[in-house]
Structure 1
Amino acid sequence: MKSGWEIVIGLETHVQLATNSKIFSSSSTLFGSQPNKQTNEIDMALPGSMPSLNSKTVEYAIRFGLAAGATISKNSVFERKHYFYPDLPKGYQISQFRNPIMKNGAISFYMDGEEKEVKLTQAHLEEDAGKSLHKNYNSGIDLNRAGIPLLEIVTEPIIRSAKEAYMYAKALHNLVVWLGICDGNLQEGSFRCDANVSVRKSGSNILGTRTEIKNLNSFRFLEKAIIFESNRQIKLIENGGHVIQETRLYDAENDETRSMRTKESATDYRYFPDPDLQILNISNEYISKIKESMPELPLTRIKRFESDYCISREEALQMTVNIQTAEYFESVIKYIPKNYEKIVSNFISQELSTLMNRDNKSIKENKITSYILASLINRVIDGSISNKNAKYVLSIMWDKGQYNIDEIIKEEGLDQINDISIITEIIDGVISKNKIAVMEYLSGKEKAFNSLIGQVMKASNGRINPRDINAMLKHSIELYKKDLEKVET
């Protein structure tokens, strides 16, 4: 951000709720069907068709409201939001405006090591519109998305940087997937952000004219779009121009925002209560029932992992990247001695994650059970196998689906060498072949000693415990030194 200016950002996020049917009809929400194959008379707005509320959408909205510490409205109202696009068959969208299902609340997350909080204005239920398709100078309408259930989550205009917007969006995405209310698929449009961006002189309390950047379905694009748009507005104002309240689109290929249309106001939409839908009454008993089924929330679990286990905050963040990873981590450490949790974290976040990323697999598709991984790690802890060779065993289990650890160790010749005479023989061979490094160590160069340890590990194929190498290597070098002294005298 250019010196002397402040950016003001508010985000509106459309979260597609993970229901099997649409919000006001029984049509399927499955992604990828042929155009207009998942529609019925309600989605197409045929005369006489009446909407019927999907109760699962209400449950999911309340789950989010409880997680965000929001106030759940006991009586909320669905309203008609009027605008005229070809892909909006009714000529209005059923949404909530004056009395949404939840108000206030906040999303908390870590940024640069500090806990941040972004306050919410509200979240409301609504239906999605259809989609216009354009090809070879022809246009068509696909209504498969018409009626898809959305929870629109609106922040206060208190975000002050593109990075903070990025981190908030990531935290919100993790939370809705964690709660099981959204699949979080960015490519399929299950999680889309609109960014309201304005700029003002530093120290000013007056909000500038805002523009809205629509349908950002990538965290990186969200950040880049905000950076471009804020710089565009500053440059425009400094050159004597003024910002127009409008809707803009982000062009990722050219890394720029472009004008789409003039921004409507609430008055333009002519909201009024939908006469076909009753007031949504939510009881305290229903809210309490949902509250009992809530999982431990991401931030709470991060803090517990830090306090209960020997891992850092960064490691706790890695272990809570999603709820499946968090549960897998805790199921592994049940079989691990206390204070060795860091080894487990490293194996999951580095070795297992590398294999999953290579094969484009998720933690849910991981076939290495928590008990098997714990058994492998316990062999590292008790010195039966080196850390390096344990990683190799893990890769064999992953690639071949072979889970008998002892059998793999035996077949690959990876068991630790504990015979003192064999270890001494290997060390003496390394000293004999690396006399320059030995002399450098004797002259006070500690790095030379680390090099010699590496050579011993290489010669033994990682089968000697590093703790044993250290003491025995120093002892053998002392003997070598004495032999040299004898020769010199």
Structure 2
Amino acid sequence: LASIRRAIDYESKRQIALIESGGVVEMETLRWDDVNGKAIVMRSKEERADYRYFPEPDMGMIVISEEEICKVRESMPVFRRERIKKYEALGIPEASAAQLTLSKRYADFFEEVAALTNNPVETAKWMLGEVTRIEGDMKEAFAWDAKSLSKVIVLYTNGKISLTSAKEVYELNCRQGVDIEEYLKENNLYLITGDMQDKLVREAALAAISENPESVADYKKGRDRAMGYIVGQVMKKGRGSFDPRVVSRVVKELLDSMD
């Protein structure tokens, strides 16, 4: 068996090199020289008929239908390279696509969640961020729950909760099994939306600006970090119910409108 293995390995490499160099593999009978580690040509064949094939009487004809071929083809796993190209076509950077396909389980989970969120790009960010971090820490105890993750992502992308709240509730769901919607409701983490949010954010922003004249002065001097401090104060006043994007917009508008 060892000699057969060496002969097959030698001949496969020889034929590959021959084809890649533009040559043609001839029909011929070879003998394996185990001492010198190479195949020796015994005789050449001009036509396939020279091999004198004949039916094996103890074996019946094997017929594979087109339907069976299709079934096998459909059941075959998707190769990693194909998945990377597929993810790139969805708008995911090549480096991220490569990370998502490091294991079949990881890639399958990503596709399951992306199908539920209808947002592959945002799903990829969560997979490479929170999922990787929490799963790496929990190991075997991590539950690959696509419904829970997709629910959190959809709530965040629809502007129902902040990114901070989304990460918080997802981690608690993974580690402690807390109910996502109940936790958000009990802790007042759903964002206030619409005109009411604009009104409350504006009131909180005006109060924060009034309470922090030094930060306002720093912002006017071109120190943009000062605005970040005021935004943080407004977020505290909102106790998690303000959308950070709305807060940043309103604070900037108010600061820029001041003389």
| Equivalent of 1:350 in 129, 154, 165 | 129
Work out whether 1:411 is the aligned partner of 2:186.
Answer: yes
RMSD: 3.2
1:379 positional shift? 0.7
Distance 1:102 1:461 in 2: 72
CA contact (8 A) 1:416 1:464 kept: yes
Which residue of the partner structure matches residue 55 of structure 2? none
CA contact (8 A) 1:417 1:423 kept: no
1:444 positional shift? 2.9
Summarize the alignment of residues 205-220 of structure 1 with structure 2, pairs less than 5 Å apart.
Answer: none
Tell me the amino acid that sits aligned with residue 248 of structure 2. N
Which residue of the partner structure matches residue 247 of structure 2? 469
- C-alpha change, 1:102 and 1:321, in structure 2 (3 Å) is farther
CA contact (8 A) 1:335 1:371 kept: yes
Which residue of the partner structure matches residue 79 of structure 1? 2
Work out whether 1:382 is the aligned partner of 2:163.
Answer: no
Tell me the SS of whatever aligns to 1:347: helix
Unaligned segments of structure 2, at least 5 residues: 18-33, 38-61
Which residue of the partner structure matches residue 207 of structure 2? 429
- C-alpha change, 1:461 and 1:99, in structure 2 (3 Å) is same
Summarize the alignment of residues 355-374 of structure 1 with structure 2, pairs less than 5 Å apart.
Answer: 355-361=134-140, 366-374=142-150
Which residue of the partner structure matches residue 303 of structure 1? 85
Distance 1:101 1:399 in 2: 54
Could you tell which deviates more after superposition, 352-361 or 428-437? 428-437
Which residue of the partner structure matches residue 101 of structure 2? 320
Distance 1:292 1:383 in 2: 39
Tell me the amino acid that sits aligned with residue 445 of structure 1. R
Summarize the alignment of residues 429-448 of structure 1 with structure 2, pairs less than 5 Å apart.
Answer: 429-448=207-226
**Structure with more contact order per residue of length (Cα contacts < 8 Å, sep ≥ 6):** 1
- C-alpha change, 1:461 and 1:353, in structure 2 (3 Å) is farther
Report the structure number with the largest CA radius of gyration.
2
- C-alpha change, 1:321 and 1:284, in structure 2 (3 Å) is farther
Q: TM-score, normalised by structure 1?
A: 0.38
Unaligned segments of structure 1, at least 5 residues: 1-77, 81-94, 105-119, 122-265, 270-282, 483-489
For 1:91-137, what per-residue CA distance to the aligned partner results, in whole angstroms no more than 9, with x for missing partners? Answer: xxxx8221259946xxxxxxxxxxxxxxx99xxxxxxxxxxxxxxxx
CA contact (8 A) 1:368 1:397 kept: no
Distance 1:324 1:388 in 2: 27
For 1:374-410, what per-residue CA distance to the aligned partner results, in whole angstroms no more than 9, with x for missing partners? Answer: 11111111110011110000011011123x3211101
Work out whether 1:98 is the aligned partner of 2:21.
Answer: no
Percent pairwise identity: 24
Tell me the SS of whatever aligns to 2:218: helix
Which residue of the partner structure matches residue 42 of structure 2? none
1:297 positional shift? 0.3
Distance 1:375 1:311 in 2: 21
Distance 1:103 1:432 in 2: 80
CA contact (8 A) 1:319 1:349 kept: yes
Q: TM-score, normalised by structure 2?
A: 0.68
Distance 1:436 1:445 in 2: 11
- C-alpha change, 1:292 and 1:421, in structure 2 (3 Å) is closer
- C-alpha change, 1:430 and 1:298, in structure 2 (3 Å) is same
Summarize the alignment of residues 256-275 of structure 1 with structure 2, pairs less than 5 Å apart.
Answer: 267=35
For 1:352-391, what per-residue CA distance to the aligned partner results, in whole angstroms no more than 9, with x for missing partners? Answer: 1111111223xxx642522221111111111100111100
Task: Name whichever structure is richer in helix by fraction.
Answer: 2
For 1:56-108, what per-residue CA distance to the aligned partner results, in whole angstroms no more than 9, with x for missing partners? Answer: xxxxxxxxxxxxxxxxxxxxxx336xxxxxxxxxxxxxx8221259946xxxx
Tell me the SS of whatever aligns to 1:315: helix
- C-alpha change, 1:284 and 1:292, in structure 2 (3 Å) is farther
CA contact (8 A) 2:201 2:234 kept: no
Task: Name whichever structure is richer in strand by fraction.
Answer: 1
CA contact (8 A) 2:162 2:191 kept: yes
Distance 1:358 1:293 in 2: 33
Distance 2:233 2:184 in 1: 22
Which residue of the partner structure matches residue 341 of structure 1? 120
